[in-house]
Structure formats: structure tokens, C-alpha cells
Structure 1
Amino acid sequence: MQPDAPFDAITLTTDGSVATLTLNRPEVRNAIDDAMRGEILSALDRVARDDAIHALVITGAGKGFCSGGDVKGMQARLSVPPGEVAMNGWRRQHRTHHMVSALHTLPKPTIAAVNGAAAGLGCDLALCCDFVVAADTATLAMSYVLRGLVPDGGGMYFLPRRVGLARAKELIFSGRTVRPDEALRLGMIDRVSPADTLLADARAWAAELSLAAPGAIALSKTILDQSFELTAEQVFSLGSQAQAICYSSKDHLDSVAAFLARSAARRGGAS
């Protein structure tokens, strides 16, 4: 496994076609501050531009996946003059949404390997990935209301799409902690793995998802992520445009050539 250029608050490594982004502030259960947010964005940009990387796993160092927003940031927010609170908050929200959107729209399969507690923004970060694998010792909680806040990292968008509107309301209104067995039953996560094999299992799944044509996956993901907001006719139209692109791709041309060669070989062997 090869480490990429060093970061301070995260690490980014690659193993074959799979990159692993690890939140690396274990002393605060990988709480996200401004510095980490910026590094995550830089890492996602690097992954998006690297054609050798076909999938991304995101996990946390130490005992937690991500405890949410950094408490020091909350304290700083309370200490500024009242007239500056709203604009400071708006800027911070904008940066958070940029980070979550960059992960959600990454044109490659993404898997959250939830190794411990994923609370608040940490839960949002997991839910915005294409797939979520949780350790059997992990927990998830939409804990914002316990701090007098609303889910601001995309949870109000991603959670209802996974568990349905009524169940999402219950989880958000209560802020309660969800164990992996219940999360799997609700559809909040996709798989449960033993804690000691979680990361290996997530990377193996990511490698499996990396085998198909990257362009076809990227185009399919882009359309699927919009499909709940679009009409059937709009999805058909976007699919037609994407297919036209695929028709001229090297992946498709090579695949057809290989298929025809195998067919010719079978016919030759049968004669």
C-alpha cells in the first residue's frame, strides 16, 4: 500500500485501484475542524483526477469513525460578537456542504468503513457515500438535536433515501444511537463486518466494484444520484446521452472486440 503526499489531519493511501482516506485525529474521535475539512477536499480532488484510482474507502483512525464537528469550533462560534455569528456560520456551512458534495458526487464508487462511533456530521459523512459497511462494534447517531441543532451535513437528504421519511424523522428527532444490527435492518447501512476485518472487507468490496469500466460507472452514478428528483423521461434522456458517450469509449470498443474474438474462437473450435 502506497501513501500519498502527507496530510496532517487525514491520511490517503492507495492499494492497486483502491484509495483509502483515513480521518486521522483519533484524540478527538476524528472530529472535523476547518483544517481537516480542507484536507478532505484536497484528497477528494486528488482521487477524482487520478485515473488509476477506481474506488475510495473512507474510515477513521483509532476507536471512532467521526464524532462530528469539532467542539472547539462550536466554542469559537459562541465567542464571536453576536452580529458576526450568522455570516460566520454561513461560511462554515458552505465549506461543509462543499466537502459533503465532493464526496457524494465523486465519480467513483465510495464506501464508508465505519469502525466506531459515527455521530452528527460523522454520520452524514458515512451516509453520503455510495455504500456503508459498519464494524459489529460501531454505532451511528443523528445526534444534532441533542445539541439544539439540525442535521447540516446532508443527513436530511441522504437518510430518508435510505430508510424512508417516517423512519428518518424518528432517528433525527430522537438523536438516538443505532447499533449495526438495527442499522442493517433499516437499510441505514449495507453490510456488517467483524471489527478486525472491517477495513479489509471494505477494500475488497471496493476492489470488486472497481473491475467494471470506470466511465460507465461514473456516468451511471451521476444519473442514479439524481433519479429520485427526475421524471422517468428525464432519466431515459440522460441515459441515452450517457450511452452515446459509452459507445465511443475505449472500454466499450475493447470489450466488444474481445467478445467477438471469443465468439469467433468458439465457432472455429466447433467446426
Structure 2
Amino acid sequence: MTSLVEFSVEDSVAILRLNRPDVRNAINDVMRAQFVAALDRSANDEAVRAVVLTGNGKSFCSGGDIAGMRDRLHAPAGKVAFNGWRRQQQTHRSVAALHGMGKVTVAAVNGAAAGLGCDLALACDFIVAAEDALFSMSFVRRGLVSDGGGMYFLPRRIGLSRAKEMIFTGRSVGSAEALAIGLADRVCPSGTLVYDAAAWARDLSKGSLAAIALTKGIMDRTFETAEEQVFALGREAQAICYTTAEHRDAVAAFLDKSAR
């Protein structure tokens, strides 16, 4: 059986490739389950320091599988809402696993990132866009709302009014505009996209894994957390860092170098 989410590790970076190129990597239930498994594998592998998410073929991810949407509408009227609620639980589980990853995550966006595909890119810590990348919050075109966290992530990247404009219109945003408004962090040539994203991920994850995980967990809640709560979380995180081998080794190495 062909894996719908390819997993590999290249010099401490896990590369996750969405693999339904014939439908522009549209996400169906099988891919969603495999994606969660790949994220869990990345989180639990001590050899992995960072994760790069990309898509095989010409697109990053075109969103939810339209064929699946059509099939769901054929369910008995009394089951449509409950079936949808259960499916949303799985979607949110995958987004939460990506966003809550205690390691650096980078979306390497090749081609179109539409709908849920755009949400997945936004759930990553950083976004590297290919020169031909296109971002679209296309839910409104299907009579839907963003269900993969986009209504939470997008305003934090580009501001509330810009986020509303993108979501209300469903228009496509190219790589140059994405970089200008803060939707993307870097733009790279298509031919070196994954290589460049992985190289940046390595640079970002050279520090203490414990410190990065704890810092990320606090900073991702900064906008909705009171100042004193952030300070309290910081105190707790620092206390944990004091006990890590990475901290002890760094202090010893610094003092040894200073003594020479």
C-alpha cells in the first residue's frame, strides 16, 4: 500500500511529504490518520530535532478531499452533523499535533496551499514558500469556514483585518505578497525549496531541545496569556532547564574555556 505521508530523516530533520499528487495532495481520512502517525513518530524520535512539511508533485496541499465532501452529503440527514463533528475531531487532532510539536516545524510550501492546506502551513512555526507558491483560504468558495486553525493562526501572522480579507474573499496570495505581509518567512527557488527549508530548520534547532520545546510552548500562548502568567510559566520552564544535561554541559564548557 502506497504511503500517503512519506517519512524520512535527513541529518536530524524529519521530512514529511504529503503524497497524493494526482489530487494535489487533498486530505482524505486515510491521509489524515497517517499524518498524525508521522507527527507522533517525529515527536518521539530522539534523532529528530526539527520537522519539514511539504507536498509531492506540483502542490503543497489543496485542502480537504472534495470527493469525500460529496460522499458525506449522501449520508442520512440525521447523521451529517454528527459524522462531521467526529471528522472534525480528527482534523483538530492532526493540527494540534503539528502546532503542539515540541520541536521546530517548517512548512515548505510548493505550489498551492489552499483551504486546510493553508491551515496546515500556518500551524507550523515557520513558512518557506517556493517562488510559485500560492496561499488561499478557499473555504468560503465551498460554503465553509476554516476548520484547521486558520482563524486562530492567520490573524497572529498578518493581523486581523488582512486575515478577514483573505478569509472572506478566498483569494490567492502569491509568494511575493505572502513575504511582504508576513504570511511567509522566506521565499526560495522551487528547485531547492525542501533543501533550503531543511537547512534553516537545522539552524533553528541547534540549541537545547528542552529549552526550545519549553519556550515554544509558552510563546505559542503569549497573545492570550496575561503577563504574570507568562512570567510564571517562564519560571517553571527555567527550573526544568536548570536540571538538563544540555545546560550543565554548556556551563561547564563555558567555564572551561574561560579558565584557559
User: Retained in 2: the 8 A contact 1:22–1:60?
Assistant: yes
Structure 1 position 205 matched with structure 2 position 195: no
Pick aligned residue for 1:49 from 44, 53, 56: 44
Structure 1 position 105 matched with structure 2 position 100: yes
Larger radius of gyration: 1
Cα deviation for residue 179 of structure 1 reads 0.4
* Distance in 2 of aligned mates of 1:61 and 1:39: 15
* Distance in 1 of aligned mates of 2:12 and 2:107: 17
SS at match of 1:58: strand
* Distance in 2 of aligned mates of 1:61 and 1:97: 23
Equivalent residue runs for 1:65-84 within 5 Å: 65-84=60-79
Q: Deviation digits for residues 190-249 of structure 1, max 9, x if unmatched?
A: 110011111110010011112101000000000001111101110000000000000110
Q: How many percent of aligned residue pairs carry the same amino acid? A: 60
* Distance in 2 of aligned mates of 1:12 and 1:196: 20
Equivalent residue runs for 1:151-166 within 5 Å: 151-166=146-161
Cα deviation for residue 15 of structure 1 reads 1.0
* Distance in 2 of aligned mates of 1:210 and 1:52: 12
SS at match of 2:90: helix
| Structure 2 unmatched runs, 5+ | none
Equivalent residue runs for 1:1-271 within 5 Å: 8-265=3-260
Q: Deviation digits for residues 119-155 of structure 1, max 9, x if unmatched?
A: 0000000000000000001100000001111111100
| Structure 1 unmatched runs, 5+ | 1-5, 266-271
Count of aligned pairs between the two proteins: 260
User: Retained in 2: the 8 A contact 1:7–1:39?
Assistant: no
Q: Deviation digits for residues 174-200 of structure 1, max 9, x if unmatched?
A: 000000110111111111001111111
SS at match of 1:152: coil
User: Retained in 2: the 8 A contact 1:17–1:210?
Assistant: no
Structure 1 consecutive aligned stretches of length 4 or more whose deviation exceeds 4 Å:
none
Cα deviation for residue 60 of structure 1 reads 0.2
Cα deviation for residue 7 of structure 1 reads 6.2
* Distance in 1 of aligned mates of 2:206 and 2:171: 38
| AA partner of residue 28 (structure 1) | V
| AA partner of residue 82 (structure 1) | A
**Given the two structures, how large is their TM-score scaled by the length of structure 2?**
0.99
SS at match of 2:193: helix
User: Retained in 2: the 8 A contact 1:142–1:171?
Assistant: yes
| AA partner of residue 148 (structure 1) | G
* Distance in 2 of aligned mates of 1:109 and 1:224: 13
SS at match of 1:19: strand
